[in-house]
Structure 1
Amino acid sequence: MKRTLPALLVCASLLTVAGPPAQAVAPSPVSHAVLEPVSYPASDLVPGIPRAQRAPAAQEAAGRAQTRGRQPHIEYVPRSEAVRHGTRAAACSRATGPFQRQAERYLRREVDGRQSAGDCRAIRRFQQAHRIAPATGFAGPVTGAMVRVMRAKKDPNRAGRCPDRRERTACVDLNRQLMWVQQNGRVIFDPVAIRSGAPTMETRTGSYRIYLRHRSHISNLYGTSMPFAQFFDRGEALHGVYEDIFQGAGSHGCVNLTWSDARKLWDLLRKGDVVYVWGRKPSV
């Protein structure tokens, strides 16, 4: 069944609810030489830095602080390795995350899918460089997403999925959860992370044109902010969010970007530019 226009104009994030948060416990130091690495699927992970329940105004204030680069991207980690704000640096994780192989390959480590002390140190440095916290070396879904972005920078359209046109074309790859802009065979906006529609509200695929732009759009249903909104199909838009782009199940169908990426995209695109969307959002 097609969604109604009021619902489509919301496109705010849907946050997953997994019951009351577990009490965070700082991990004990562990010797890699003594204990075998443990592998964790993404479904068994929790936010590495638990967030207290906030009122909507406080959430947006925190999001605005993130746009100024003060807030990290929160990685998902094993429950026993979650840490609190204000604690000393957590121990290097001995756990094997669901994106261990991808991290090993990008960081030019031995690709064996097993955490080692050397792997952990390399992944930890990568996390620190990209504001991923806690930077414990656990290759969770946020680290995996950032690895995808970095791997795509050299040639995002290597597979040729986005059409090469003379017009500015915003290429939205749902498979990899990233987007870029190209024109005349040249990338003019480097790949960035996105958050597309949540399950049952997937972002529609196809070729569209931007038909409406609103710099400070407010959702007409939930009253939430949609900064730098550029609508391309029956209410679905490219727009910024104030919360962490890697958190939550997804949007109501819009293509979410970080506030800073959405602002840069606003300055580049114009009404009538092409938006080309393909693929399907992965389950993790």
Structure 2
Amino acid sequence: MNRSSVIRRALLAAAAVALATGCTAQAAGSGGTAAPSSSPTSASSSPAPEPSDSASSAEPTETPSTDDEPSSSPTADAPAGKVLMKDGDENTQVRELQARLRQVGYFDRAPTGFYGTITGKAVSAFQKKRELPQTGSVDETTWQRLVAMTHEPTADELKPSTTNKLDTPDARCMTGRVLCISKESRTLAWMIDGKVVSSMDVRFGSENTPTREGIFNVDRKVRNDWSKLYHTPMPYSMYFSRGQAVHYSADFAARGYNGASHGCVNVRDRGKLSALFDQVRVGDKVVVHW
């Protein structure tokens, strides 16, 4: 009995040592000596390697992100507020923006109230001079800087008679109610009995689609027209020579004289043309001249 007990105790002790050695190898599974004896499942699910791997990979990841923060924070803070005005907007605040930009020499034409490419370039130039992000859109910081260095636009600054200087009216425009349109000065003057009531910039057709010259009459008016031929809107159309009309052009407002019409007389100041549209009657004279 004593001999059996001794043998049993010796076997139990040996088994305990073997079990302890197996656990140690599993826990240190990355050591590789016990890996062959471990099943793939137990090796992949071993919790020991995971903290070790995540700790070693986290350090280089955190370091660059910390280093990036100072260099990226000025860019994040630079816009300093939401965008107030941007390309495609058309309202009274845009007109004020253009008038203020004109005061400091960044906008060389009469305000139209339409935010197009010309206005965007003017804003970008203003931002560049003040070392602001050159977005071409007006954020709160850009607007505050511009307002601080300009005065509130007067009525004449917001709606000057025209950007282009009017030339001497054609003799045929001196009597009656006349849309007097000059290709030389690129202006339209609304005249009644020889007096200029209002005026605005205009754009004409290209060499391939010229605007006809001569004396005509307004034969019809369409407030919200659409060109079926060129698939483009033609607000405030006043037709005077077959398909040619005086009408508002968003393209003219956006690109200025970089483009041309297909023969119509384009107007870029929507507000002025809207008022003119309400005043002109069917039958009024139209004179297109050099």
TM range (shorter): 0.3 to 0.5
What is the TM-score when the length of structure 1 is the normalising length?
Answer: 0.48
Higher percent of residues as helix: 2
Larger radius of gyration between Structure 1 and Structure 2: 2
What is the TM-score when the length of structure 2 is the normalising length?
Answer: 0.47
